[in-house]
């Protein structure tokens, strides 16, 4: 699975938004869900937090896999999604960087904010959660069969692990 981290804190994220923006949160439901950043639940929690802080989230969009371009582009023509994507001024992709690249290409008229950093591939287990086992060399880390905890990798790289908002009172 692809391993991604958050680039920003919640406060840094909203610092890039305006109350006039029409925002779509576009989440993949595969790797990024196991990284505990995206997926249906995390996307909804972020949407609710943004709404409670006065931002206009017009749609929460879930996709089976954001790395598949035709699935992303289908949102431009599908009756259920086309209008929202036409109106959107900002898209927040809770996806890996592959997903971000596809979404940026598919929706050039929206401001697509790169909110995740992809750092390699790894292994999920129910006891350890997601771990990075095969990092990209840019991380400065080597292959590790036990895996690096994402919190450790995030600290090393100046990023964040886990969701933008976990449903609790404090982001």
Partner 1 sequence: MVTLSEPLPYEKITENLSKDDKIALISCNSCVRFCNSGGVKHMNDLASKLRADGYTVTDVIPTVGLCVHDYVRNARVSEGITAVIVSACIAGWTSASRRWRDIKVIPTVETFGIVIADKRVGNMKLMMAFDKYKDLVGQEWQLMTGERQKEQKIPVPIPEGH
Integer CA distances (angstroms), 97 to 7, 74, 146, 153, in order:
11, 19, 24, 17
**Residues 11-50, interacting with partner 1 (CB under 8 A):** 30-31
164 dihedral zone (left: phi>0; alpha: psi -120 to 50; beta): alpha
Among 44, 89, 124, 171, binds partner 1 (CB under 8 A): 124
- Cα first-last separation, the chain: 26
154 binds partner 1 (CB under 8 A): no
79 binds partner 1 (CB under 8 A): no
Among 19, 20, 52, 70, binds partner 1 (CB under 8 A): 70
| Alpha-carbon gap, residue 41 to 102, rounded angstroms | 22
The two tokens of residue 62 are 């879930």
157 binds partner 1 (CB under 8 A): no
78 binds partner 1 (CB under 8 A): no
159 binds partner 1 (CB under 8 A): no
- To which residue do tokens 């995030």 refer? 154
109 binds partner 1 (CB under 8 A): no
Applying CB under 8 A, the residues found at the interface with partner 1 are: 1-2, 30-31, 65, 67-70, 96-98, 101-102, 105, 118, 121-126, 128, 133-134, 136-137, 143-147
């Amino acid at each position: 699975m692809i391993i991604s981290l958050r680039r920003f804190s919640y406060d840094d994220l909203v610092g890039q938004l305006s109350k006039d923006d029409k925002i779509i949160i576009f989440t993949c439901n595969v790797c990024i869900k196991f990284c505990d950043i995206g997926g249906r639940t995390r996307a909804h929690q972020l949407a609710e937090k943004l709404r409670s802080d006065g931002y206009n989230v017009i749609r929460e969009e879930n996709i089976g896999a954001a790395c598949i371009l035709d699935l992303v582009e289908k949102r431009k023509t599908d009756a259920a999604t086309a209008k929202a994507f036409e109106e959107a001024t900002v898209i927040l992709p809770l996806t890996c960087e592959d997903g971000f690249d596809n979404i940026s290409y598919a929706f050039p008229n929206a401001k697509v904010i790169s909110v995740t950093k992809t750092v390699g591939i790894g292994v999920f287990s129910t006891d350890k959660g997601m771990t990075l086992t095969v990092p990209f060399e840019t991380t400065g880390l080597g292959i590790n069969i036990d895996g690096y905890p994402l919190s450790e990798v995030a600290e090393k790289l100046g990023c964040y692990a886990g969701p933008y908002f976990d449903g609790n009172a404090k982001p």
